[in-house]
Each structure stands twice: as C-alpha cells, then as structure tokens.
Structure 1
C-alpha cells in the first residue's frame, strides 16, 4: 500500500483520490464500469499494472536524504475509460512518497510536492518510472526529466523521446505531459496559467528550455501512451558498420550494440568486416582493402560508423579515403586512432612530441615495427581532419581533446547495453543452477582475457590475496590459462562465456564485481554487472569514472596499493550497503545506457556535426516498436546475443601459450610476426 500522506494544498478534499490498493481494471473508484481492461497485447508490458509488486526501493536517496515527494495529476473525468488502470499503474510504482489527484483540467498552483507529473486518463506510468525519473533528477540536479513514451493502440506502434526544444512537429496540447517529471521550483519559473490545460510535452519542454531550466533525459520507458499520434521521425539513413574482426571481444560487442541501437532507431545498417578480405596476421603490412572499399562507395550509403580496425590494419589510409568520400565517424573503443601504434598511451614520454621509433612498447599488441611508427602517426593525424570522433566517457573525450590535432571534431556518445538481458534475478535460484555455494559472499571479475596485464592482473591477484578468507568465494570469467596463480582452492572458473544470457546469470548470482583495470575508455563490465544489481569496486581512473558512479552504483578508490582490498572489504562486510548500491545501479544504469539512450546520443552527435548536414535536430526521437523488447518488463523481451568471445582454447593450445609467454613474455617479436604473416599467405595461396 502506498504511503499517501501528503495532499495538494488547493482544491476540495473531495477531488483528492487516494489509491486504495490494486483496483480491477473494469471499475472506477465509484464502482462504475470503465470498459475493457488494458493488457500487454495493447501496451507490450507484461502483466502491467496487475503483475507482482516491484522490488522495494532503498529507504533513502544515495546521499541519505529522503525520496522527494511526487504529485501525479490525472487529467480527465469520471467518464474516461481505463482510468482505474491508470490509477493502478500509479500504485504499482512502489514509490514511497506519492500522492495523486484527478481533475478535469490541469490547474497549476501551490502543491505539497517536490516534483509533479500529469497523466491523461487511460495512459499508464511504466513500471519503475517514478523512481527512475526522480533518481536522474537528483543525480543530475535537473529541474525536469523526460523519459521514453511507448505509443500504443491495439498493440505498440512505436516509442519516442523528447529531443531538441527548438524543433517542432505540431504536437497537440491534449496529448498530456506524462513523460516529464518537473520540479516545483521549475514550475514557479514558468508562470503557467492555473485555469487552462497544460501545454503538450514538447511545448512544456521548450518552455522549460527557454526559462533556462536544467533538463535531462533517460533512455527507458516512463509512459505508456494510449491512442498516441505518430511522432516526427527523421528520414532513415543507410549506415555501414565497419570493424576489423567483427563483433567478438569487448570493442566488437560495444560496436555491435551501437549498430543495434541505430537499427532500432529506424536506420538501415550494413555490417562489414575487414577480416573477410585480409587475415589478421597481415594487419601490420596491409592498408588496402579494395573489395570492401568499393562495396561501401558503390552502395550509396549516408554514413560509415568505424569501430576498431587495428586487428586488420595498422594504417589510416582506408579511413582517410572513406572520409574524403562519405561522412565517417570513429567510435573510440580505445585510443588507437590517436597514437602511432598503441591502444592506450598510458604515461608514454614520447607521444607529446609525436610517436616514432622511440616508442617504449613496439612489440605489444597492436604491434608495429619501430621504423614505421612515425609514418603511421603522421598518416593518422592527417586522416583525422575529416571524421567525427565519438567519445564514450568524459575521460575519453578529455584525452581525445588532448591528443587529437587541432580542429578535430569530437562528440560524446553513450554506449548501448541490453538492459532486458542484464537484469536482477533470483540470486539463490541462480546459484543452485550454476553450482555456486549458497551462503558465500561471491566476488566476480571478468575480461575477455582475464589474466591480461592491461586489466591489472597482478594487482587483482594481490587484492584477492588480501581479502580471501572462509565465506568469501571468487568467480573468474574469461580466458585464464593458469587459475592456480590465485592459490584459491574454491575459485570458480567458468572460462570464456560466449552468450549474453549466460553471462548475465553469472553477474546476477554474485554479490560484488571487482576490476583492477586502470585503462578503460569506459568499462563495459561494471555497467553489465550494475544492470544485474551487482555493485562494483574499481579504481578512480580513466573511463571507469563514468562507468561507476561512486556511492551510487559502486565504490571508486584511489589507485594505490591496498585500496581495492579496502573497498572490497567494505562491501563484503556491509550487506545493506551492497544491496543499496545494487538497487541504485540497476535504476540509473538502465536509464543512462540503454539502446535508446545510445541512439539519441548518436543522433545528437551527428546533428551537431557540420560534416553531416542532412541530420538535423528533432522535437522527438522515434524508435521502432522492437525497441521495447530491449527492456526487462517487455512482454516480448529480446534474447541475448551469442558469439561474444572465442570458444575456450584446447588444453594443448593453453600449454603452448604458457610456454611462449615463459620464453618471450606476452610480446610477439617482429621475426615471429613475419613468420605468421608468411605462413598465412602461403596457406591462402594453397587454398586457392
């Protein structure tokens, strides 16, 4: 039962309707018939609003303040059909400080609430909408927050999200404002009339912008809008998603999800990979891909979205040629496009003066012979004058601005995550199914190559040694050739996991996620873990400061010896704190890193780039109905992807890899690279 202890300070007491528990959708508060009940066949959300109660919210905000008071005004009268379902969707929010009122118009006056929202009778709040809107308002200090609308009649026919206030698509005032949560202070700046209906959402959004009110948007549904008119959709673009090896591994996964977001926004996406034309062993000596280049240029595409290419080429010639013919953007999954050869320059003493043969790590992946580094660096800087660089975190954007040539175009984007796959689940049931101990506190760490030095493996081993004790278990996901290095008899090693659904189960089965990495443009694994309700302990370094919100989705510690162990022990010893962080992580990360949030960020980046004038600001960003399936509460939830990483290596391969590392370390000498290249060419000629 909702705690409806606050009232509006105007109007008669008879006009204030208190939710009194789940009402039958066929009756109003006076027992009058309201017409047929809405179902998931109409709005696409499973069992809403008559489904199970939502997970309880933490009893206060992350900083300890109480949840703000929210007032919901329902616009309509007793003749409106489905008003009972609207009321049930309000009650189903599980929000601790909530009041609502039913009125025929929408007077605006002094109200005993911190935030307000207006619903048309027959429209529904989406599950968890108020907590998501409110948490974003608090974290961003915004006076108004907007979320996605699900547009439905007899079935879902689209989704949309408010865009640029200056744009217009003629939205009618009768449409309501159920997708915007507005603070009382912001309303005081608008001087809205108290005797007339509110403007439409788009009009209110524009008025808020004109008044200088800070606004924010979240990329998850907040409103199920019945009989909504179609939204203003831009013309679809024809886009090439270009990668080196495809969609496996961290960068490949991130790029695939960006391409999925564009597809769900209505664009046509063609997927190409350079490895289909040239093998990875030739990457150091290859910068010509005539078949791929000809296919792109001959097909009339509007945009090339480039991901990592250094697995197939170390050069910038292909990108330069494409960018001179077509609008081209580069997603910075790492910093390779800005350096002579490396993916992360770290504290390199050379790069400030220009990469050349003085490079301290020429044999580390992506390797390049020292004598060729200066030429590669110069070619990249020349090529960067045309493309738009897309930075996936605040740190990546700042680092790019510092390293890129003057005049380079840079824009921020959000990465996309399948929030319906990575979601909280029944932890006890998962542990039984995965064969994990029921009562241990489980700490998980994961990477494609779990023992890679760039993931802070030595630091990880030291941290675990400091924390390990009875009752604490550890799970290692990814390629790990020698699990015995941890000295943990109870270490659980599922190895590389090739599909999102299984990976999400492991995240959700554990209590804490741990990463010792200091080199991330963002850090996808902490976000995946947080979406599953599992908080993270990480260093306050690089892009991790955007992936982990300190005190909200996890703990950030200073990059010094012992700090990770201290942070991990704090979460191990405080179950209530872990649970608070896990609950907040799910809410805020779903709002900020959904496919919809990514698609909007990509549109905004292109609309602000002179290199692509065909993309202009829109009043509303539109999405195909299938976008709803990316969210956990959708009736037709989309299945997770497969092929995330390569299959586990055979024991013989693992043994040979360890032997090679014992002799040469993790680097690959130039002579060995040349032998592999020659062998690949020979095999190719024989096969032909």
Structure 2
C-alpha cells in the first residue's frame, strides 16, 4: 500500500500538523506513506517539496497572485478566501510517485488548481480540515448557508450580486468534480453534516474520523515542573488560550475570552487567576484582560505544547467555528479540562460537565461561568482531569485514527480491482 498525502505544508498550522501526524502514524505500522507539499518545514525525507529556489519562489508568488481577483471586492472581510485558479505542476509529480491512494488535505494558498483535482489518478480520499472544499471560496461560512445551493451574493465578499466571485469558484468546482469518485473524511460530526448538506458533496460517502495524536507525547506532566520550565507562577490558577494568530483571528474568539476574563476579574477571581496565551507574542498595547497575562509566542513542537497544557488548570477554546479543535484534544490528553462553546467540532471533544464545560454559544458570561465551574471545586477538578485524559486515550489516539484510514484505503483499492 503506497499512500500519498497532498497538503500545502507539512507542519505549519493545525491542518498541516494533523496531516503530518497521520502520515507518521501510517509509517509506524509500515505503510509506505509520503507527503507532497508546497512548503516544507521539516527535515523529513518522505516529505516532498520543490527543492530549487526558483520553484520555491514561484510557490510563494502564487500566494500573492491567487488572491488578485479579490481586490475587486474592496469592502470584503479580511478572512481567508481561496480561489485556486492558477495552473500548477502537481500532476507530473504525482505520476512520478505513482501512489495506490491519494489522500488530499488542506491545499489552499494557490498550491493546486481546482481543475487539477479532477485529473489526479488513483482513488481519492479528501480529509476536510475546514469548509473550503464545498464552498465558493470561504474556509468557514459563518452564518451563511449558500454553499447548500450555488453560493453567490457572498456576505464575506460584501457582494450583492448572484454572479460574483464565489459563484464563479463554485461553478468551477461543480463542473470539474461532477463525475469525481471521492471519499470524504471529516474530523467531526458537525463538519460531516455541513458537507452532506452542501450542493457539491451531498451524494458522496462521508466518514467521520477524529484527528489523532500521540498520547505518549501529549500526556500529563507534573504541573509544578511544567510551570518552572515556563517561568509561570506556582500560586495562581492558570487559564490557557492558544491558536495560530491567536489574538488576531476573530474566528478564534479571543474577544469573547477577553470579556469572560474581565467578568471573572470583577467577580472575585482577579487575585486567583492569570492568563497564559500561546500563538501570539505580547502586543505593544496589550488588551485589558482584567488579569495578568503571560504571552508565550509561537509554539509548534509537541513537547513544548504538552508542557504548556500541563502547566495550565483549564484550556479555553472560544472559537465560533472549528472543523475539530485540535488544541482541545491535545489539552484533554494532558489532563487539562477544556471550556468551549456548545457548537461545531468542539462538541465531539468536550463532554459537558464531564471533562470540561460547553458554554451557550456565543455568550461570554456563560464562558466565564464555565471557567469558574471547572476551577472552583478541587475534588470535582480531579475527576474532570482524569476523565479528560481518559477520553483522549479512548477516542483520539493516533493508532485508532490510522487504522480507520487504513480500512478506507484498502476498501477503495479492493473496489478498483473489481472494476473491469
């Protein structure tokens, strides 16, 4: 079995890290797994990327050129919107590798043209890490459900026309992928429901397989030792928040966490709590959280992240929309309960008042209530922490994920052999 994963990157970002973990998990059980990426950050020889500087420069330039048509929409929301309209050189590389199965992942940033996907040989599995595959360009649709029809009049583009850029992208996907034999995998039941209600994927098989992690890397570490390593206070309860672009990406909900912490500060928790933030450095004018805030900057390696999760008393993931919520599962694996909103992919990870707290969407006051509920009772906290680790061991191990993917791969390979 020879598997090829196609991803924009190998380790830069949550989707890339999830893909790389799957890749390494397959190798751990002696599956011939490789990755084809646009930008490589690891030194892994089984990750293939452009080697010459010219190719790397072209790849980076495509990031700029791919978004040029968006300049027609000057009032648009400044959120990721991918058009994938530029030609690429992916097919010759895939042909040279000659895999049995191609597993597509997050491929935006101008890496692969929409039309190229239809030309890829071999059975295709597409692991969705957000909503882009079945929308007219957005990666998260917010409250918009136009992807269930044919997009157009896009609220993110601030467009009032049916035939806008989002309709053009949707039409290209619909035309190119009309007869495509795809198996869709989503990491959460919420994303599976969105995909099955979309006009592009409503007739395709969809499997739910949570993202896996190495529970030997992500495990509880002595809290006192973890705090000593990070130079964090030993006499305070620590509230953790982290994400890529943690404080600037509005979808991640930092402003709601800010409101919740201010609420806690006013209600008697000011001298008991401190905030810890990773994924962002301390800004020149730090926002008022009502508490002392410790900014750890960008962290990417598993050991550093496990130490941070173990140092904290509670992890808060206040996102509006998450395909899964990888920081939440990582935190649980380290025995740290999670507070999140009762919405989207996080509902599959956090069990309300069992290993964390699911607040009413999207109420900062209930988020504050959830943080307090997790922290206020030491005996209850110990149970929450134990159940957090237990959930990760039962549902989010890399071994479970890998074998479920392998079942899909073998099934598709068997179906191909049956064809005349």
Tell me the residue number matched to 1:500.
302
Tell me the residue number matched to 2:77.
none
The count of residues paired between Structure 1 and Structure 2 equals: 370
Do residues 420 (structure 1) and 216 (structure 2) align?
yes
Tell me the residue number matched to 2:33.
269
Structure 1 residues not aligned, in runs of 5+: 1-236, 365-369, 616-688
Tell me the residue number matched to 1:575.
378
Do residues 449 (structure 1) and 245 (structure 2) align?
yes
Instruction: State how far apart, in whole Å, the 2-side matches of 1:583 and 1:349 are.
Output: 39
TM-fit CA distance, 1:373: 2.4
Distance 1:295 1:352, change over 3 A: closer
Tell me the residue number matched to 2:169.
376
Q: Describe the superposition over 1:42-68 as per-residue Cα deviations: whole angstroms up to 9, x where unpaired.
A: xxxxxxxxxxxxxxxxxxxxxxxxxxx
Q: Considering fraction of residues, name the structure with more helix.
A: 2
Structure 1 residue runs of 4+, over 4 Å off?
Answer: 607-615
Q: Describe the superposition over 1:89-140 as per-residue Cα deviations: whole angstroms up to 9, x where unpaired.
A: xxxxxxxxxxxxxxxxxxxxxxxxxxxxxxxxxxxxxxxxxxxxxxxxxxxx
Q: Describe the superposition over 1:389-448 as per-residue Cα deviations: whole angstroms up to 9, x where unpaired.
A: 111111111111111444222122231112111111111122122211112111101101
The question of whether the paired residues in 2 share the 8 Å contact of 1:245 and 1:311 is answered with no
TM-fit CA distance, 1:286: 4.3
Question: What secondary structure does 1:308 align onto?
Answer: coil
TM-fit CA distance, 1:363: 8.3
Structure 2 residues not aligned, in runs of 5+: 40-49, 68-83
**RMSD of the TM alignment (CA)?**
2.3
Match of 1:392 among 187, 205, 213: 187
Q: Describe the superposition over 1:632-652 as per-residue Cα deviations: whole angstroms up to 9, x where unpaired.
A: xxxxxxxxxxxxxxxxxxxxx
The question of whether the paired residues in 2 share the 8 Å contact of 1:315 and 1:379 is answered with no
**TM-score, normalised by the number of residues in structure 1:** 0.51
Do residues 282 (structure 1) and 72 (structure 2) align?
no
Tell me the residue number matched to 2:278.
477
**TM-score, normalised by the number of residues in structure 2:** 0.82
TM-fit CA distance, 1:507: 0.5
Instruction: State how far apart, in whole Å, the 1-side matches of 2:10 and 2:85 are.
Output: 18
The question of whether the paired residues in 2 share the 8 Å contact of 1:239 and 1:269 is answered with yes
TM-fit CA distance, 1:587: 1.7
The question of whether the paired residues in 2 share the 8 Å contact of 1:315 and 1:376 is answered with no
Tell me the residue number matched to 2:78.
none
Match of 2:352 among 526, 540, 550: 550
TM-fit CA distance, 1:591: 2.3
Match of 1:347 among 143, 152, 157: 143
Alignment of 1:161-310 (within 5 A): 237-275=1-39, 276=50, 277=55, 278-279=59-60, 280-284=63-67, 286-290=85-89, 292-310=90-108
TM-fit CA distance, 1:560: 4.1
Tell me the residue number matched to 1:463.
260
TM-fit CA distance, 1:315: 4.2
Instruction: State how far apart, in whole Å, the 2-side matches of 1:453 and 1:495 are.
Output: 18
**Structure possessing the higher radius of gyration over alpha carbons:** 1
The question of whether the paired residues in 1 share the 8 Å contact of 2:212 and 2:396 is answered with yes
Instruction: State how far apart, in whole Å, the 2-side matches of 1:263 and 1:544 are.
Output: 28
Tell me the residue number matched to 2:342.
540
Tell me the residue number matched to 1:410.
206
Q: Describe the superposition over 1:323-370 as per-residue Cα deviations: whole angstroms up to 9, x where unpaired.
A: xx21111111101000000011121153333112x1111389xxxxx8
TM-fit CA distance, 1:242: 0.8
Q: Describe the superposition over 1:547-576 as per-residue Cα deviations: whole angstroms up to 9, x where unpaired.
A: 212233211122142110111111121122
Instruction: State how far apart, in whole Å, the 2-side matches of 1:596 and 1:415 are.
Output: 11
Instruction: State how far apart, in whole Å, the 2-side matches of 1:560 and 1:498 are.
Output: 28
TM-fit CA distance, 1:269: 1.5
Alignment of 1:599-638 (within 5 A): 599-609=402-412, 612-613=415-416
Between 578-587 and 346-355, report the one with greater CA deviation: 346-355
